[in-house]
Amino acid sequence: MPTVSTRRVVITGMGAISPLGVGAAALWQGLREGRSAIGPLRHPDAERLRVKVAAQVPESFDPAAHIDERTLPLLDRTSEFALHAAREAVAQSGVDFAGGLGLRTAVIVGTGVGGETTQDEQSRRLYAENAQRAHPLTIVRLMTNASASQISIAYGLHGPTYAVASACASANHAIIQAAQMIRYGMADAAVTGGTEACLTYGALRAWEAMRVVADDTCRPFSANRRGLVLGEGAGIFVLESLEHAQARGATILAELAGTGMSADASDIVMPSAEGAATAMRLALAEAELNPQDVDYINAHGTGTQANDATETRAIRLAFGAYADRLAVSSTKSMHGHALGASGALELVAAIGALRDSVVPPTANLDQVDPACDLDYVPNVAREMPVRAVLSNSFAFGGLNAVLALKRAP
């Protein structure tokens, strides 16, 4: 029996809801096809907004069809997404939390802004409609930890349960925290990931003001890129120690072999190549991977001028000459930038690449940028051997979180 400091962590279940459809399979299929879910913004105030495009969960998604009618009134859209994705992940894993496992299962969910839909709706009532009181369930809907708490309640999970909020790195930070709890013996299993529903009038106005939002589509690493495109959704995963998963005969999707975290400590919005490279090096070291062992990087790849060029430099710093042999792609070109949920949606892509030996493309890449000079798998998925993958998340605030995955043991 290995010591707690060397426990291996594996993924046995995944669930998702994304602009590409309901379910992790729909997300992965859309990414394999290189199909972008970015389209005209659906919003009651769309005519008043300069933001004209977004990546939104399909209108056909009906939370009432999947969530108990007594629970639904307690939920912000963020928690609706998280609960739906958690249900899929737990079902796929086949895990049974009875018999004491519920006491040893953590729930850690990342979100950048939490219950923004509730916040926006109640602010409108109070300030625009002069309402004299807020809805009595406002706090339990909008609090950042609501999604984690609702998953804990739904499955009777009594282990450490909390939210992680680190902007665009929230999901990866949450997954890292969950993995480390298992690795060091604080838990035997975890339900973790990220969720976001940020396409509100107030949030869209705020992003407009930053002038980093594209007006056409998301074109990561392309010379004609015009900025990011906001998205929404959730990805939730079941993590277990390798021993626990093998003992119950679970199907293992991938091994979460290493993680890396760093802070740039330099600028609140301008990314640092060295900070990002540090997180990648740490993930490689914990996973006991050499640069040449990695075949694919799912890049942060937002489509902004600063991020894409900086991430390219960071990959070169971390991988040296081997960077030219890596396949690198940004799936945000298809599912948009879901802020705190992005890393979770991208983990679905990383697992798919490992399992199917298919690297999803960078959609909309049609012009070469000399500052972005790696192999970005333009527009069409590539069948190729994939032994190990890095998945990058880099956030405003200079916060970096990287996952390293290997094929299932």
Task: State whether the Cα torsion 311-312-317-319 is positive or negative.
Answer: positive
CATH superfamily of 258-406: Thiolase/Chalcone synthase (3.40.47.10)
Looking at the chain, the domain(s) classified CATH 3.40.47.10 span 9-247, 258-406
Indicate the Cα dihedral angle 372, 375, 381, 385, nearest 10°: -150
Catalytic residue (one of 84, 173, 300, 335)? 300
Q: Which fold does the domain 9-247 belong to in CATH?
A: Peroxisomal Thiolase; Chain A, domain 1 (3.40.47)
Q: How far apart are CA 236 and CA 22, in angstroms?
A: 13
Asked if residues 232 and 19 have their Cβ atoms less than 8 Å apart, the reply is yes
Q: How does DSSP classify residue 250?
A: P
- Structure confidence at residue 5 (pLDDT): 57
Asked if residues 270 and 390 have their Cβ atoms less than 8 Å apart, the reply is no
- Mean pLDDT within 149-160: 98
Locate the DSSP E strands across 68-146. Answer: 105-110
Asked if residues 384 and 240 have their Cβ atoms less than 8 Å apart, the reply is no
Q: How far apart are CA 340 and CA 337, in angstroms?
A: 9
Residue-wise pLDDT for 26-68, tens only, equals: 999 999 999 999 999 999 999 999 999 999 999 999 999 989 9
337 given a catalytic annotation: yes
Catalytic residue (one of 168, 198, 218, 372)? 168
Residue-wise pLDDT for 294-307, tens only, equals: 999 999 999 999 99
Q: Is the pTM of this model over 0.75?
A: yes
Q: Output the CA angle 9-13-14, nearest 5 degrees.
A: 110
Q: How far apart are CA 212 and CA 229, in angstroms?
A: 9
Residue that the structure tokens 């994705």 belong to: 85
Instruction: Tell me the pLDDT of the chain averaged across its residues.
Output: 97
Residue that the structure tokens 């929404």 belong to: 232
198 given a catalytic annotation: no
- Structure confidence at residue 30 (pLDDT): 98
- Mean pLDDT within 318-342: 98
Asked if residues 144 and 162 have their Cβ atoms less than 8 Å apart, the reply is no
User: Is the per-residue pLDDT at 4 higher than 70?
Assistant: no
H-helix or E-strand spanning residue 135: none
Residue-wise pLDDT for 209-220, tens only, equals: 999 999 999 999
Q: How far apart are CA 264 and CA 244, in angstroms?
A: 36
Indicate the Cα dihedral angle 210, 214, 220, 221, nearest 10°: -80
Residue-wise pLDDT for 166-209, tens only, equals: 999 999 999 999 999 999 999 999 999 999 999 999 999 999 99
168 given a catalytic annotation: yes
Q: How does DSSP classify residue 328?
A: E
User: Is the per-residue pLDDT at 279 higher than 80?
Assistant: yes
